[in-house]
Amino acid sequence: MEVAITITVILAILAGTCAGAFVSGIAGFAFALVALSFWVWWIDPHLLAPLAVFGSVIAQITSLGAVRRGFEWRRVMPFLIGGALGVPVGVWLLDYINLNAFRTTIGCVLVIYCSFLLFGRNARPVLFGGRFADGCVGVLGGIMGGLAGLTGPAPTLWCTLRGWDKDIQRCVFQTFNVAMQALALATYWIHGSLTTPVLKWFVLMLPALVVPAWMGARLYRHINEQLFRRLILVLLVVSGAVMLVSTALRRGA
């Protein structure tokens, strides 16, 4: 019985890793959203966050080459600076904010607003604010990351609203996510969360990360601007819906 359970857990981790890496390779984010749908039924809850962060970092680093043409430090830096400032604020707010209410609010905003963008007419690009506005969105992403590990939604949605081409959009939010998640991994290491068993799972995941992420990045090159925009909005809507369902289940437990 013990062997069967072990094999099941290994297969669940590998399946979730492959699926999450492939989607991340296409979209530049959403590794955790996809992988956790496989993992949550089989894996110790204490392992979920480190595995999701590690998988997301490796998958995104693997696929960054797909958007190298859109890389511009002047666009990325305001987000990174803002995120670095926002993360400690989010951690500090943990003692003062109801996380269930926070996640419910973010989930509702993502589902309602992104659905409106998805099914409505294409809105005009948001042009105001310049780098200061970009930095403020980075701060918001950092705060959300410090509070609930939600670094991605704010910069991803903002890049879509900016109307930048798909390579620039993806380069900005993907670089931001890699930086924030690398910071999270460093925090796990400092706090002693990356134990020997966790590191063994990292080694197991690695081959299942690189190849699917590379394949997804190859497919990304054949996706046009309009399809990429719709894909991002669909993933944000799904992310918000998952947030609402998981929060409701947590409250009912």
Q: Please give the average per-residue pLDDT across 237-245, as a whole number.
A: 88
Considering only residues 56 and 148, tell me which one the structure prediction assigns the higher pLDDT.
Answer: 56
Token representation of residue 181: 């998640």
Q: Sign of the CA dihedral 68, 69, 70, 76?
A: positive
Q: Please give the average per-residue pLDDT across 241-252, as a whole number.
A: 79
Q: Please give the average per-residue pLDDT across 103-125, as a whole number.
A: 85
For 4-14, write each residue's pLDDT tens digit: 447 888 888 89
For 199-209, write each residue's pLDDT tens digit: 888 999 999 99
How many angstroms separate the first and last alpha carbons of the chain? 28
Provide CB contacts within 8 A for 59, sequence distance 6+: 20, 21, 24, 25, 31, 209, 212, 213
Angle at 104 between CA 116 and CA 134, to 5 degrees: 60
Check whether 253 has a pLDDT greater than 60. Answer: no
Considering only residues 118 and 43, tell me which one the structure prediction assigns the higher pLDDT.
Answer: 118
Determine the structural domain holding residue 107 and report its residue range: 2-252
Provide CB contacts within 8 A for 31, sequence distance 6+: 20, 21, 23, 24, 52, 55, 56, 59, 60
Q: Is the CB of residue 197 less than 8 Å from the CB of residue 44? A: no
Can you give the pTM of this predicted structure?
A: 0.80
If one counts the domains in the chain, the total is 1
Angle at 249 between CA 55 and CA 173, to 5 degrees: 35
Angle at 23 between CA 119 and CA 104, to 5 degrees: 55
Angstrom CA distances, 163 to 145, 159, 167, stand at 24, 7, 11
How far is the C-alpha of 108 from the C-alpha of 243, rounded, in Å? 9
Q: Is the CB of residue 213 less than 8 Å from the CB of residue 22? A: yes
For 48-83, write each residue's pLDDT tens digit: 778 888 998 899 899 887 777 767 888 999 999 999
Q: Is the CB of residue 241 less than 8 Å from the CB of residue 90? A: no
